[in-house]
Amino acid sequence: MIIFLNEKPIAIDDKLTLFQLRDRFKPTADILVRNGFPASNDVVVEEADHITLIRRGEKPPAEELEALMIARHTPGVHKKLKASCVGIAGVGGLGSAIAVALGRIGVGRLILVDYDVVEPSNLNRQQFFIDQIGEPKTEAMKANLKRINPFVEVESHQVFVTPENIPDLFDQADVLAEAFDGADQKAMLIEEFLSRFPKIPLVAASGIAGYAPSNTITTRHATKNLYLVGDGKTAARPGEGLMAPRVGIAAHHQANAIIRLLLGEKPE
């Protein structure tokens, strides 16, 4: 019988239990994960099970790290995500949170595009640190992602997105995340990208400012390959700024929609 132990296929005897497997291969393990779910009871291991054995607090060797990082995934998910490429246009409040979420889930390649640098006013909602003030956002996020998940390939471009450079920047993307602040830039990107790449999904956001109720942020299917996140009306203005909780909710709606698209599911 073949199972996957820390993501490596091995042959074992039929009717071997989970605890017997632990005792044979890693007696010091005190966290056992079976098919993405922590196991506390002994059960018979079945064909094609994904079993991860972890010793709490132990820093694993590099060759085991990725397997342990994906232990809580549903079996089969990681392989699809690792083979995927996602473009992120704008690495501010939305884009930085999208990048972190996709990096943690193990999307294989991210294309980060932003012309701006990290400013103190960004830190109320963006996934950067005080010591990164003044750095290009793309490079700062690339460094942060390397610390989060070194198995993700990150391609960064510190440029202003224009109709002319969209094809060169995002032609490898399986899905594109729109994460701009300005309405004009949002509209330009959506129009240009969907006209040039009509078969590639684009996940955009609109209406995420302030501290309105969380549940007004939704994901909806706008057109054939355009998905919109937000309430569609709450814009940043004097007295109503951009704040971490609602921006984060919208960003994670976008990230989850992207993951569902990559896995062949409908986002809405």
CA atoms of 108 and 106, how far apart (whole Å): 6
Q: What is the model's pLDDT at position 268? A: 79
* 174 and 84 Cβ atoms separated by less than 8 Å: yes
What is the maximum span of the chain, computed from C-alpha positions, in angstroms? 67
Number of other CB atoms surrounding residue 171 within 10 Å: 12
Task: List the domain boundaries for the chain.
Answer: 2-71, 78-262
**Cα torsion through 118, 123, 124, 127, rounded to 10:** 90
pTM of structure: 0.94
Residue-level pLDDT at 241: 80
Joined tokens for residue 37: 């779910």
Give the per-residue pLDDT at 232. Answer: 85
CA distance 11 to 14: 9
CATH superfamily of 2-71: Beta-grasp domain (3.10.20.30)
Distance from C-alpha of 171 to C-alpha of 31, rounded to nearest angstrom:
42
**Domain 78-262: assigned CATH number:** 3.40.50.720
The pLDDT, as a whole number, for residue 243 is: 87
Check the CA dihedral 137-142-148-154 and report its sign: positive
Give me the tens of pLDDT residue by residue for the chain, a chain 268 residues long. 999 999 999 999 888 999 999 999 999 999 999 999 999 999 999 999 999 999 999 999 888 999 999 999 888 899 999 999 999 999 999 999 999 999 999 999 999 999 999 999 999 999 999 999 999 999 999 999 999 999 999 999 999 999 999 999 999 999 999 999 889 999 999 999 999 999 999 999 999 989 999 999 999 999 989 999 999 888 777 777 888 999 999 999 999 999 999 999 999 7
